Structure 1
Amino acid sequence: MGFFAGLRGARRDNKELGLGVWRRAHDRFERGLDRFHQVLEGIEGDELYNGLVEIANGLADLQQPVRAVCRRAQELKPSTGTDIPAGADVVHRALSKAANDLAMAAQAAAMARLEVEPLGAGTTGNDLHVLENVARRAETVAAGVRHAEEAVLRLS
């Protein structure tokens, strides 16, 4: 991405998400997703890698719903500072929890790598066990995003 494309994207984000709590909630979720994808860097294409990629793709599918929630919340309850707008605390709490759960999913993925990699190839039973833990964390993220979507609808 070039400098000007990045600048246009930042301006669009400022316009759609504002500069307050909704922008920060969106950016925090994005950072968690970036962290999850960083965990995938440098591992080989084995069962663990394939499972983590599948989970990462599911988490990436949550980007647009999170952006939509933040954009809608900014429209209904604009924020320019650090204070959560009156009546929007449930939406903000759901977004914050989803971002926190995403960070925990990234940490679980990193721990999965550490647990499986020293054992070497052929540890598919162990791979399955650690993938289940990461998948549970990812489902918690998805549930948090769904909760935020439901909460923002109640703001209308």
Structure 2
Amino acid sequence: MALFAAARQGRKDDAELGRGVWRRAHDRFRRGLDRFHQILEGVQDERLHAELVPIANSLADLLPRVRALCANAQRIAPSDGLDVPSSNAAYLSDVHRALSRAGNALATTAEAVAMARLDGGNAAASGTSDPASLAIESVERRADTVAASVEEAERLLDDSDR
């Protein structure tokens, strides 16, 4: 059954997001989010896990917004290739750049979670005071960059409608 569901979802994605740059931007974001959650599942320190879960939830809340952005961009300027479609004042390039920044920032946020997981384990083993809180701050800063990039893409696409 999962095979058929995946095929249906793939057709739906093709219809909404195309097969070009907008689909790639969406998929990059989704893969980063999946990776973040995979790493989060491996966090053994309960306190660290509890502090990372709200960040994970806020990032997951961005996925429907990214999908809507990419679907809207696909409606405005369909893409089936690797090139961002041309637009007045190259605003679509700016939208794509912001979406790419969000996906890349999400990947670095997942890396920060991996480092926090390692730092948390090392702190527990060595009796060090709290390097996990520094790692959490790093994850939060990176997550803020993800959210800001999504907001920038939304603003750019909204401004283009006027």
Matched to 2:140, the amino acid is A
Q: Aligned-pair distance for 1:43?
A: 2.4
Task: Give 3-state SS (helix, strand or coil) of 1:120's partner.
Answer: helix
Could you tell me whether the CA contact under 8 Å between 1:20 and 1:82 is conserved in 2?
A: yes
Q: Aligned-pair distance for 1:124?
A: 7.2
Matched to 1:132, the amino acid is E
Q: For residue 67 of structure 2, what is the aligned residue in structure 1?
A: 67
Q: Aligned-pair distance for 1:48?
A: 0.6
Aligned equivalents of 2:69 and 2:95: distance in 1? 8
1:126 maps to which of 107, 126, 131: 131
Matched to 1:30, the amino acid is R
Q: What count of residue pairs does the alignment treat as equivalent?
A: 156
Please report the TM-score for the alignment, with normalisation by the length of structure 2: 0.90
Q: For residue 106 of structure 1, what is the aligned residue in structure 2?
A: 110
Aligned equivalents of 2:128 and 2:47: distance in 1? 9
RMSD of aligned alpha carbons: 1.6
Question: Percent of aligned positions with the same letter in both sequences?
Answer: 53
Matches within 5 A, 1:6-155: 6-44=6-44, 46-87=46-87, 88-120=92-124, 125-155=130-160
Task: Give 3-state SS (helix, strand or coil) of 1:81's partner.
Answer: coil
Could you tell me whether the CA contact under 8 Å between 1:26 and 1:67 is conserved in 2?
A: yes
Aligned equivalents of 1:129 and 1:55: distance in 2? 15
Q: Aligned-pair distance for 1:127?
A: 2.3
Task: Give 3-state SS (helix, strand or coil) of 2:130's partner.
Answer: helix
Q: Aligned-pair distance for 1:123?
A: 6.4
> Which string of whole-angstrom CA distances, capped at 9 and with x for unpartnered residues, describes residues 13-43 of structure 1?
0000001000000000001101111111232
Aligned equivalents of 1:6 and 1:62: distance in 2? 22
Q: Aligned-pair distance for 1:126?
A: 2.6
Aligned equivalents of 2:39 and 2:3: distance in 1? 27
Q: Aligned-pair distance for 1:115?
A: 1.2
Structure 2: gaps of 5 or more residues: none
Runs of 4+ off more than 4 Å: 121-124
